[in-house]
Chains A and B, each alone.
Chain A
Amino acid sequence: MTDLPAAVRLRALSKTFGAKPVLRELTLDVAAGEILSLVGQSGCGKSTLLRLIAGLDTPSSGEIRIAGALVAGRGVFVEPDRRSVGFMFQDYALFPHLSVAQNVRFGLRGLRRAEADAVVDAWLERVGLAGFGPRYPHELSGGEQQRVALARALAPGPAVLLMDEPFSNLDRRLGAQIRERTLDVLRAAGAAAILVTHDPEEAMASGDRVALMRAGALVQAGPPEEVYRRPASREAADFFAPAVALPGRRVGAAVETRLGAFPAPATVADGEAATVFVRARDVRLACAAEGVPAEVLAVAFVGHAHDLTLRVAGLEEPVRAQVIDPPALAAGDLVHIVVNPAAGMIFPASAKH
């Protein structure tokens, strides 16, 4: 992987629509064969980024290289048909007047008919649609259409596959299945890919790396565990899994809160106010001796666990805990809770995002 040029290299990429900046000086690399999840709230610019890479929009400034070749920037603009990118659209954009096989063959060039047929068959086989060639898109289920779109985008052998919310039109269970299958196909093909999604779980489950965007800028990029465990901002902490914010203050080597002390990071000075984010899965029930007393406000059974909403004296926000097989509880009961000190995500109270 290291010898190959990055599949995609973005340098200080910006895009404004009218006066409105949509992307601000974004710099990011995607290695050959790497799958990058691009995640963020609606309107953060992630789809625009994909369109810029594909050449469907022109950047306002900055550079884009694909497989080492400059495709946008420094007065260069390479048209989309000359870029070697595959694009999977949110609505798949299958050509309704062409059969499945004709759709997959659309991007194949310079092949003899028999060769093209063989490539098409091989791709349909790979996405599990062998024999679907003569059918038309409207005769397929959503999941099947998605796989045709995948085969069509990958058949010409692009340097990078760009996927814009490719699973969002499928229901949740089917989406997860198809996602796994898609990732298998991608890995087998060794293609680099950028997957745009607004779903943090999907982003973490799919990507070798996850890149979080906010208001047109990159907040953080790294392996899923890292962005989940060590978010770079308050917002990132809350984005990947909802967390309760505990007000606290650094005293010596620890930040002290209503739910106990957490090892202080260097970003918080001694005596400075801090906010500690704690996720529901890191809160557990304890015996009266070691825990902080909390009143149960609500209990919800969510299948694999129970979600508890708790009130702790001295905290405005209710604390959420996710516990497996708790004793029978009802609203109004009194419990004791502890938080794993290593699980706290701590930011200076003055940090904005």
Chain B
Amino acid sequence: MTAALKAGVVGRRILPRHAGWIAAAALVAALPAGSALSLVATALGGSLEQWPHLLAYVLPDAVRETAALLIGVGLFVATVGCGAAWLVTACDFPGRRALEWLLLLPLAIPTYVVAFAYLDMLHPVGPVQGAVRALLGYESPRAFRLPDIRSMTGCILLLGLVLYPYVYLSVRAVFLTQSAGLLEAARTLGASRREAFWRVALPLARPGIALGVSLALMEALNDIGASEFLGVRTITVTIYTTWITRSDLAGAAQIALVMLALVSALVAIERWARRRQRFANAGHAPRRWEPRRLSPAKGALAFSLGMLPVLFGFAAPAAHLAVQAAKRVAENGLSDQIPREILNTALVAGAATLVVIALGALVAYAARLAPRTAAPGLARVATLGYAMPGTVVVIGLLGPLGALDGLIAAAAQAGFEAQLRAPLIGAGIALVTAYVIRFLAIGVGGAESGLARIPPAVDGAARTLGQSAGGAFLRIHLPLSKSALAAAALLVFVDCMKELPATLLIRPLNFETLATHLYGEAARGTYEDGAVAALIIVAVGLLPVILLSRIGATRTARATVSATLGDAPRGPVEVSPAH
């Protein structure tokens, strides 16, 4: 053996290969796993005195309200989402291309913003009711008023109007990748177009429907503003009030456990609905079905129908906010509060985004480096936070972070005689941690989809040309997955910016973001700079929507479907002549 070769084998391993990467991935995965575990510990560690009270008076109502809300929102988003997806993929009419991305716009409006806007709009002395009364000739709000939006039905409608795009996106993706061959097979077996939709296209889209509905329902579960403003006492609202007004952390944790059980059930149902997901179209890229050209009259009808959710879910509330914001600024000028809040929001969201992308890339790369180890499983654990509502994450974090804050404060007191009160929570580190746990899944997913496009042979090439695993990552994988990471970063940033429940619970004292400002005004019933804050949130929220609509529809479709639905590897690609 030559000296050079000997030198190469000098590094005899005691640790398994890539041990460092796997350990790092384990640390990242410990974040969501730890907060879930500490939630259990807090819940069990606290006194169970309150439990009979909760069980008798609080939980039954909260669970019933939550279940009613979820069922209502689920049905609404499934119907509107599937209908819209079918309309733009199976039919062709003037304006279809525009409608395809217009239908995404409500995604830019967080649930609490749509509730805020509609409450103002539909107020008994607001513009809509006023106009209706003027039209019908009534004098005063006492003589006539529309049914109150502050009801379960109102809450279902408002949440559904901004959450249906989840179903629309995922079902459209399925429709776009569904092989035309299957529908053609149905036609040659005697099925009409309508029948082919009900018997083949829709059942095949079941995984997409399940995914979209479960995402929408997780948002609904996560929501705190809309349900609270509209008087629906969901579990989330209950957790919030238990901690904020009664300072009962253990009680909040106990309710949060119930919530976690509910979320797990949701995820389980979604998994079950796509248990036979091997469906996937075998091998070669399927030919996409051709949309059918509608007659001008039918086309106009289809377009108007498709515009309804856009109108109510985006155009009306956004226009109202714009008008109110313009009025406010014209009358009072821009308060100095808003710029400070923009800065605050950008700071915490930006910090969380950087951490999420770095940790996400690390975990995804570890899983690629060491696919036969624990690393891929750790990557899955790292993404658990996407299913944990913000309140649950925070209640889980408060226990350990509170203890840690206490330790640091005591150490500072002992060592430097310094007075520190809650340094982690006070400096916003706790808030950033909560964001990271909640949105880490986006970072991991983004990095995974970026890495998946790099053929494995490239890794081998880099390594045989003298790069270490880390060097290959920096010089090859990072540049090649730049755009995927950038897209993920945008999503994370906007999600952090819109985040309300965790921000409310764990932000530093007197630290206001745009979202908490809006919440505060809505809770107090004052409508001052709220519209301005809401409008900014909506405007920034439009960025990822634009990104979503700009990436070619089919490409997004394929990517979403394979990234989110088909964790199963695809079969070998058939190489066969086209004829």
Contact = CB atoms under 8 A, between A and B. Distances in A.
Interface stretch (A8-16, A43-51, A336-344): A43-51
Interface in A78-125: 79-83, 85-87, 89-91, 93-97, 106-107, 109
Contacts of A353: none
A260 to B, nearest CB: 37
Given A81-B192, A95-B200, A56 B184 contact: yes
A91 B283 contact: yes
B204 interface: yes
B203 A97 contact: yes
B187 A56 contact: yes
B399 to A, nearest CB: 45
Interface in B524-579: 574, 576-579
Interface string A158-173: 0000100100110000
B45 interface: no
A81 B579 contact: no
Interface SS of chain A: loop
B189 interface: yes
Nearest to A56: B184
A274 B284 CA distance: 45
A43 B579 contact: yes
A137 B203 CA distance: 15
Contact of A156 (B181, B190, B195): B190
Contacts, number: 100
A40 interface: yes
B188 A91 contact: no
Nearest to A43: B579
A169 B192 contact: no
B276 A96 contact: yes
B373 interface: no
A93 B181 contact: yes
B182 interface: yes
B415 to A, nearest CB: 64
B508 to A, nearest CB: 52
A164 B114 CA distance: 53
A296 interface: no
B98 interface: no
Which of B281, B282, B578 has the most CB atoms of chain A within a 10 A radius of its CB? B282
Nearest to B182: A93
A198 B577 contact: yes
A44 B282 contact: no
A72 interface: no
A127 interface: no
Contacts of B204: 95-97
Nearest to B180: A56
B191 interface: yes
Contacts of B284: 91
B195 to A, nearest CB: 8
Given A81-B190, A81-B192, A95 B185 contact: yes
Interface string B174-199: 00000101101111111110010001
Contacts of B576: 90, 165, 168-169
Which of A89, A95, A168 has the most CB atoms of chain B within a 10 A radius of its CB? A95
B489 to A, nearest CB: 36
A80 B579 contact: no
A161 to B, nearest CB: 10
Contacts of A43: 578-579
B206 interface: yes
Interface in B145-198: 179, 181-182, 184-192, 195
B374 to A, nearest CB: 29
B279 interface: yes
A138 B186 CA distance: 18
A169 B200 contact: no
**What 6 A-B pairs are tightest by C-beta distance, nearest first?**
A107-B189, A96-B279, A80-B187, A42-B577, A87-B188, A93-B185
22 contacts: A42-B579, A43-B578, A47-B578, A47-B579, A54-B188, A55-B188, A86-B188, A87-B184, A87-B188, A89-B185, A91-B179, A91-B284, A93-B179, A96-B276, A97-B204, A107-B191, A136-B276, A138-B276, A153-B189, A165-B576, A169-B574, A198-B577
Interface of B: 179, 181-182, 184-192, 195, 199-200, 203-204, 206, 276, 278-284, 574, 576-579
Given A91-B574, A138-B278, 11 more contacts: A40-B579, A44-B579, A47-B579, A79-B192, A80-B187, A95-B204, A96-B204, A107-B189, A168-B577, A169-B574, A198-B579
